[in-house]
Chain A
Amino acid sequence: MGDEIDFDAFPIARKGNQFQDFTPGNVFVHHWGRTVTDGDNALFSTAMCNWNPMHLNAEYARAHGHDDVVVNPMFVLCAVVGLSVEDLSEVGGPFLGMEDVTFHRPVHPGDTITASSTVVEARESDSRPHIGIVTWHTEAHNQRGELIVDYQRTNFVAKRREPKPAAAS
């Protein structure tokens, strides 16, 4: 029927950063943002076996002074990390851990989260020459510019072995 198409020759539209892209002090403003919905909170909280009425019973949350349910902070944390993955860890390596995670104020359905991260440290691995260890400080704010969560996260990050490819146009 027509010429064969060589799909393997299509240039890949690469995503993500590697060890050489992280210099202490660099700031990454992460993509997209996210408006949190009632559905997000209910789905996440139930799937994670977190049936706490502060997250799932609006009358209970109102009786404790909130206007609506309190979005499960673990959802907020997962979404903030999610927003940061392409910039920080998508092609890097395993997630090692987090320190000093502080939930500064509650998130309610309808709030919009944005996130940014600063490189705190980028060091070589003694045992693995092709891998480094990077720590970032991430902050997330709501639509009023209020800090809702911040933390430090550390990952293994692979080093780039060839020159950085040209960005896809």
Chain B
Amino acid sequence: MTPSDITSGALTGDGNWFEDFAVGQRMRHFRSATVDEVENNYISKQVMNTAQGHWNEEALRGSHLGNGRLVFGLITGSMTVGLASQDTAENALAELGLDNVRFKKPVHHGDTITAYTEVLAIDESPDRDDAGIVRFKHWGRNQHGDVVCELERLVLIKRRRAWTLDGPTR
């Protein structure tokens, strides 16, 4: 496989180039994931989050946040982004940023996150004409249907016409 094959989509899906997104488009992502020992207990320590309520089963016992290990909010956020990533960033060049990140309810070990997305805006890139910027809103919901986190995310996504072999120029 040549570098040109790789960049023109041989390894990635075909429904998620910049031209494929429309404002108002909504997606419920296909796979959900349960947060447990690896996702929260270990990764909280991997990223040096020293707050022991994330990895000490006794630390928050009896607290208003609920018993057991509390999932680090950004792990819930990262899982929500991860579950949405194939549909929203498989043909991305870069993650540009996040905004309005909110953690709405506590998440505990054993909870399962499902990700939902709406396209909020579509813009030209100020720097390059082979890609554009999509602003997504993501929601993470638990198995009871409660929204546990929400965030907006800006992604720089390749244009099909600039990168694929059937596009006019490269």
Residues of A within 8 A of B (CB): 15, 32, 34, 40, 43-45, 47-54, 57, 59-60, 62-64, 70, 73-75, 77-79, 81-83, 85-86, 89-90, 94-103, 106, 151
Contacts and interface: CB of A to CB of B under 8 A. Distances in A.
Given A64-B7, A101-B97, A106-B94, A95 B47 contact: no
Interface of B: 3-4, 6-7, 11-12, 31, 33, 38-39, 43-44, 46-51, 65, 72-75, 77-79, 81-83, 85-86, 89-90, 92-103, 106
Given A44-B43, A78-B74, A102 B82 contact: no
B78 A40 contact: no
8 contacts: A48-B82, A49-B85, A73-B95, A89-B51, A94-B65, A94-B73, A96-B102, A99-B101
Contact of A75 (B6, B44, B47, B101): B47
Given A99-B99, A103-B96, 8 more contacts: A34-B48, A48-B39, A50-B78, A52-B92, A54-B93, A64-B93, A77-B74, A95-B103
A89 B64 CA distance: 17
